[in-house]
A and B are shown apart, each in its own frame.
Chain A
Amino acid sequence: MKSLLFCLALVLSAPLFAGEAAPVGDDPAIEQRMVNLASDLRCLVCQNESLAGSHAELAEDLRREIREQMKAGKSDKEVIEYLTNRYGDFVLYKPPFKPVTYLLWLGPLIFLGAGVGAWYWVLRKRRATPPPAVDPDQLAAAAKLLDEKQ
């Protein structure tokens, strides 16, 4: 009897209609946009995590805020501006291209360019190096050694 009641309780407690799971955000398109944007933003209360992945409360608040802004028709650029006006450039994981970050963005190009230049220069120098002068005695001794090995 007890087991019957238990089974009954289990059955009755399950939802009567099990269906398609609902997406977390109401609008999947907005949700995707939000996640893409938030992946490149910094969670400000974490050590080093993205706004998309963090479980922190402030992160959830900001994700909600971004969703609302997007629903209100704001573009990605406007949402980013909204956040940088309040939190500064620190919130962006992709540093803006400003005079103070020119070196950051152009640096890799400069390194590669300098490297290619160095490669070119080293090769030219090597080609210009004359072959080392060989001591004829050493040459003869080497030939003798090779004959012996055979």
Chain B
Amino acid sequence: MKRWLPLILFLVLVGFFAKGLFLNPREVPSPLIGRAAPAFTLPLVGDPARTFSPADMKGRVWLLNVWAPWCVSCRQEHPVLMQIAASGRVPIVGLNWKDKDREAQALLAQRGSPYVAVPDDVSGKVGIDYGVTGTPETYVIDRQGIIRMKHIGPIGPEVWKDKFEPKLKELGA
């Protein structure tokens, strides 16, 4: 019966490959989910005298949106973020990541800001603490300051409806 072994092994492999076609090998889950959002204190864009820290948001469910002025995909999700901000559904904090050319303030002034605060992470060090590998990336953080979800890529209407809304409801927002 071992003459059937090669065929059986192969068919098992085909099954895995078929499943693999629906997966993205580059989409890496975050190890931070279920852990406390790493603490930091950063000056705000346009108002360096004031600072922001995740502790400021304790007691509320909020989104940390990692973005950059030079990021093209971020502009795609900007209108969606503006809608969310306007509806008051959940506060969004925009972490300005590696903005060496200091373009964030002008850009937000021009296009409008969906953010309640814009901490300035020029060096990218806070990004490293959050496991950021590119922009945009968005974290959902709960009332106790625990990271509950991470979304990589721009937020479109479907993503908001299918991924974010259920999570926000779950967290009681």
Contact surface of A with B, Cβ cutoff 8 Å: 44-45, 57-58, 61-62, 65, 84-88, 90
Report whether B133 and A85 are in contact in the complex, using a CB–CB cutoff of 8 Å.
no
CB-nearest residue of chain B to A44: B133
Known: A84-B31, A86-B130. 4 other contacts (CB 8 A): A44-B28, A86-B31, A86-B129, A90-B28
CB-nearest residue of chain A to B30: A88
Q: What's the A-B contact tally at a CB cutoff of 8 Å?
A: 32
Report whether A87 and B131 are in contact in the complex, using a CB–CB cutoff of 8 Å.
yes
Report whether A58 and B31 are in contact in the complex, using a CB–CB cutoff of 8 Å.
no
Min distance, Cβ B169 to any Cβ of chain A, angstroms: 27
Interface bits B131-161 vs A (CB < 8 Å: 1, else 0): 1011000000000000000000000000000
Task: Summarize A's interface: helix, strand, loop or mixed.
Answer: helix
Which of A44, A62, A65, A87 sits near B31, CB closer than 8 Å?
A87
Judged by a CB distance under 8 angstroms, whether B18 is at the interface is no
Report whether B134 and A86 are in contact in the complex, using a CB–CB cutoff of 8 Å.
no
Report whether B131 and A45 are in contact in the complex, using a CB–CB cutoff of 8 Å.
no
Min distance, Cβ A34 to any Cβ of chain B, angstroms: 15
A65 to B129, CA, bound (A): 11
**What would 11 A/B residue contacts be, using CB atoms closer than 8 Å?**
A44-B133, A45-B133, A57-B98, A58-B134, A85-B31, A86-B31, A86-B32, A86-B128, A86-B131, A87-B131, A90-B28
Task: Summarize B's interface: helix, strand, loop or mixed.
Answer: loop
Which of B29, B123, B125, B133 sits near A58, CB closer than 8 Å?
B133
A104 to B101, CA, bound (A): 46
Judged by a CB distance under 8 angstroms, whether B124 is at the interface is yes
CB-nearest residue of chain B to A90: B28
Interface bits B70-104 vs A (CB < 8 Å: 1, else 0): 00000000000000000000000000001000000
A142 to B77, CA, bound (A): 86
Which of B28, B123, B125, B134 sits near A87, CB closer than 8 Å?
B28
Lowest 4 A-B CB distances belong to which pairs? A86-B131, A88-B31, A44-B133, A90-B28
| Residues of A with C-beta under 8 A to B129 | 86
Which of A57, A62, A88 sits near B28, CB closer than 8 Å?
A88
Report whether A45 and B32 are in contact in the complex, using a CB–CB cutoff of 8 Å.
no
Among B21-49, those with CB < 8 Å from A are 28-32
| Residues of B with C-beta under 8 A to A58 | 124, 133-134
A87 to B29, CA, bound (A): 8
A46 to B29, CA, bound (A): 17
| Residues of A with C-beta under 8 A to B29 | 88
Report whether B134 and A45 are in contact in the complex, using a CB–CB cutoff of 8 Å.
yes
| Residues of B with C-beta under 8 A to A57 | 98
